[in-house]
Structure 1
Amino acid sequence: MDLALFFQEQGVDVFSEVSIDTLSDKDRSFVVQFFPGARFVIVFGKEVPATIYLMMPKEKTQGMLRIAEELNKTAVRLAACMESEHIPALPVPLYLPIRVTDGSVQGVVRLKQVAAAGGLGSLGRSTVLLSPKFGPRLMLSGVVTGHTACESGQAQGSAQREDVPACVECGQCVSMCPEGALGPAGCDAFRCRIVHAWIPSVLVPATKWMLARRIFLKCMAPFAPWIARTATIRCSLCVTKCPKFLEITG
């Protein structure tokens, strides 16, 4: 399959096909739990234009959701194309299910970590992926496959590894976070202003308990897109205050 041509037609900016053997033990385990026959993860992304971050919260949310849902549709199309070529594939879900590990909420496949392993960027202190071309403004999606989908057997995105930007450890993202959600252990999603507006601190333990139950996630999955569309991204300082945001966008 010509992945480069497929992604060009879909308007995708960057991609990489990543062998699970290059992932950390934890991320390899997550991928295999999601898709037992997994051997590769195709991770891809689109730029979030800097102008979206300057919009009012409601418009900013709509702009980001539009890009996220376009990426999700691309993942579904890619998986269908691969299945038609007898390549087992499964798109990584945009909303649910998710998992709770060590009290932290994350996707069933940690796409930022996979993208970093595939040479598409590096992780900053805020856990945001820093892309060589787009700084922290890259939104991701992915498809897990049973074997390689690239005709050449080599990922297009891997060539970008030499240009991966490193976090300068300035601490701007941490100091600017109004809720103190960023710390040495990473990002506490439940302290983030976006999530905190929906889930007060007193409800966090019960919410974590429910999110850890597969039956709850299965029941909630049909409603997740509606909930996301009614939510509001109230803060993005961890991105806009990053020196890489200013450096890349000017």
Structure 2
Amino acid sequence: MHSGSSPLQKSRKSLEHLLHTEGVDLYATLAAAECSAPEGYHPRNLLPSAKTVIIFGLEIPTETFSLASREKTGRLHRVIGRLDEIAFLLVKALEDEGYRSIAVPSFFPVRVRDRRIMGYLSLKHLAAEAGMGSIGRNTLLITSRSGNRVALGAVVTEKELHVERPAVSPPRCRRCNRCIKACPTGALNEEGVDVLRCRNVTHAIPAPVRPLFGVLFESRAGAPLTEWLVNRMARDAEMVCSRCLTACPYFREGGGG
């Protein structure tokens, strides 16, 4: 039996107050029943009793991406850490009310499935479904407030919550192909990202083991070892390339431009 239950309106205001207090202005909710994620990546795979996904984002300043790769990576890791902190605060607040809740990792750990590196839930797709933005050809979320410079976190909860969606439709990718043309290794195409070509992945893998990594990555049987390697390397890897992000028209002007 849930303790401290309150009307939906009061729950929404409590959620918004907590997020605003933590410096979050970009957020949305999505009913688990409305989520179109496939089996294995659905919120109810994390929490069978889930009713709501709370998705929130922090804007990354434009100057971050002009820094040297080590400093840029350090700043991005601090953003990731902050998102995880906020998620745990939300979980505590919800569980104090008696609702089971789970913080979704904003970045680490990742999973390797079907030649793709992904999180436990696709936060950008959940955010798009919730009306926060849309997915661009560079596979990034485009938002009205912060363009494509958004890092995401989420909490899955069995509490029913609802935040009104913006009246304005989210911005849409212009299909200008600037991101595809900007990629120095041809890792990006109309079908997505070839991670074995992405410099952020290849830079993290020592040259002598890259051929072996490629074989494991292509093999379904090698997925567990590949996943272990990716998570081991990712925490120390530098973000050496962000051209698909910075070449996008939405990088500086925001989704409303």
The two structures have a TM-score, normalised by structure 1, of: 0.85
Does residue 213 (structure 1) correspond to residue 195 (structure 2)? The answer is no
Does residue 36 (structure 1) correspond to residue 48 (structure 2)? The answer is yes
After superposition, the C-alpha distances for 1:118-172 in whole angstroms (9 at most, x for unaligned) are: 1111000011000101111011000111132x4xxx215x22x624111000001
Q: Contact between 1:27 and 1:109, CA under 8 Å: does it hold in 2?
A: no
In structure 1, C-alpha distance between the alignment counterparts of 2:149 and 2:189, rounded to whole Å = 21
Match of 1:167 among 156, 162, 173: 173
Does residue 181 (structure 1) correspond to residue 187 (structure 2)? The answer is yes
In structure 2, C-alpha distance between the alignment counterparts of 1:167 and 1:35, rounded to whole Å = 32
Does residue 143 (structure 1) correspond to residue 149 (structure 2)? The answer is no
Match of 1:242 among 227, 244, 248: 248
In structure 2, C-alpha distance between the alignment counterparts of 1:229 and 1:98, rounded to whole Å = 11
In structure 2, C-alpha distance between the alignment counterparts of 1:198 and 1:170, rounded to whole Å = 30
In structure 2, C-alpha distance between the alignment counterparts of 1:71 and 1:27, rounded to whole Å = 25
Q: Contact between 1:116 and 1:129, CA under 8 Å: does it hold in 2?
A: yes
Label 1:197 to 1:41 Cα distance change in 2 as closer, same or farther (>3 A).
Answer: same
**Structure 2 unaligned blocks of 5 or more:** 1-10
Fraction of identical pairs, as percent: 32
After superposition, the C-alpha distances for 1:186-206 in whole angstroms (9 at most, x for unaligned) are: 122232111111232541232
2:168 is paired with a residue whose SS is helix
In structure 1, C-alpha distance between the alignment counterparts of 2:222 and 2:56, rounded to whole Å = 26
In structure 2, C-alpha distance between the alignment counterparts of 1:164 and 1:119, rounded to whole Å = 7
In structure 2, C-alpha distance between the alignment counterparts of 1:116 and 1:52, rounded to whole Å = 24
Q: Contact between 1:132 and 1:163, CA under 8 Å: does it hold in 2?
A: no
TM superposition shift of 1:230:
2.6
Match of 2:200 in 1: 194
In structure 1, C-alpha distance between the alignment counterparts of 2:245 and 2:83, rounded to whole Å = 20
Higher helix share: 1
Q: Contact between 1:100 and 1:211, CA under 8 Å: does it hold in 2?
A: no
1:4 is paired with a residue whose SS is helix
Label 1:42 to 1:205 Cα distance change in 2 as closer, same or farther (>3 A).
Answer: farther
In structure 2, C-alpha distance between the alignment counterparts of 1:15 and 1:108, rounded to whole Å = 19
Q: Contact between 2:106 and 2:154, CA under 8 Å: does it hold in 1?
A: no
Does residue 204 (structure 1) correspond to residue 214 (structure 2)? The answer is yes
Instruction: Give matches, 1:5-154, under 5 Å.
Output: 5-26=17-38, 29-148=41-160, 150=161, 154=162
Q: Contact between 2:62 and 2:252, CA under 8 Å: does it hold in 1?
A: no
Q: Which runs of 4+ in 1 moved over 6 A?
A: none
2:42 is paired with a residue whose SS is helix
1:72 is paired with a residue whose SS is helix
In structure 1, C-alpha distance between the alignment counterparts of 2:77 and 2:174, rounded to whole Å = 29
The two structures have a TM-score, normalised by structure 2, of: 0.83
1:189 is paired with a residue whose SS is coil
Q: Which has the larger radius of gyration?
A: 2
Label 1:95 to 1:47 Cα distance change in 2 as closer, same or farther (>3 A).
Answer: closer
In structure 2, C-alpha distance between the alignment counterparts of 1:210 and 1:131, rounded to whole Å = 38
In structure 1, C-alpha distance between the alignment counterparts of 2:130 and 2:60, rounded to whole Å = 20
In structure 1, C-alpha distance between the alignment counterparts of 2:106 and 2:172, rounded to whole Å = 27
Q: Contact between 2:41 and 2:120, CA under 8 Å: does it hold in 1?
A: no
